[in-house]
Amino acid sequence: MDRRRDLTEGNARLTASTAVVLFVLLAAEGVTILQVGPLLTPHVFIGMLLVPPILLKMGSTFWKFARYYLGDPAYRQKGPPLLPLRLLGPVVVVLTLIVFVSGIALLYGPFAWRSSMLLAHKASFVLWLGAMGLHVLGHLVDTARLAPRDWLRHTRRQVDGAGARQWTIAASVAFGLVLAVVVVPRVGPWLAAGPVGNQ
């Protein structure tokens, strides 16, 4: 495998491995949604933990997108995803940003924003859930094929940079933990402010 093919395969492995991390964390976040009132603290903690891995996956996906449309021969040879997935991708990105930005604004924004941000957070989540479900299904086979390759001894050496990709994912989770620890103390004041409409 030549250098250019190494780069496309390495990017694909990073994207797939990050997707698995996100799937696990999003599943845990989904559990908190079942009783978000009493589980608000873990909901916020996991939500903030998700932010750096999400940005990492967006970054690796955008890199592939940019290299393809800038005419990189290796990415051109590899080809784009199917058209429905290319159309769905920007929708998933926009909805993801709305879900997380509205959630953070709920914690840090003024009380006057609370009702509108809560509505935006809930409505965007419902739309995001549908779009993300289609996104996951559309990439399931590739993710299952690529994600283990940097972690299995007989495949990790096939493409240079497996260690760097593993450390990049680990660093994103570590940054997420720091962010979660910093943000979670805002839950108490948010709850103390009372339900929307009480002030």
Q: What is the dihedral sign for C-alpha 31, 37, 42, 46? A: positive
Measure the CA–CA gap between 91 and 46, rounded to whole angstroms: 23
Cβ neighbours of residue 113 closer than 8 Å, sequence gap 6 or more: 105, 106
Q: Residue 149: how many CB atoms within 10 A of its CB?
A: 20
Whole-model pTM over 0.85:
yes
Measure the CA–CA gap between 129 and 79, rounded to whole angstroms: 27
Cβ neighbours of residue 168 closer than 8 Å, sequence gap 6 or more: 14, 56
Residue with tokens 């990073």: 14
Domain regions of the chain by residue span: 3-192
Q: Using the predicted structure, report yes or no on whether residue 126 has a pLDDT greater than 60.
A: yes
For residue range 86-113, list pLDDT tens digits in order: 999 999 999 999 999 999 999 998 888 8
Q: Using the predicted structure, report yes or no on whether residue 84 has a pLDDT greater than 50.
A: yes
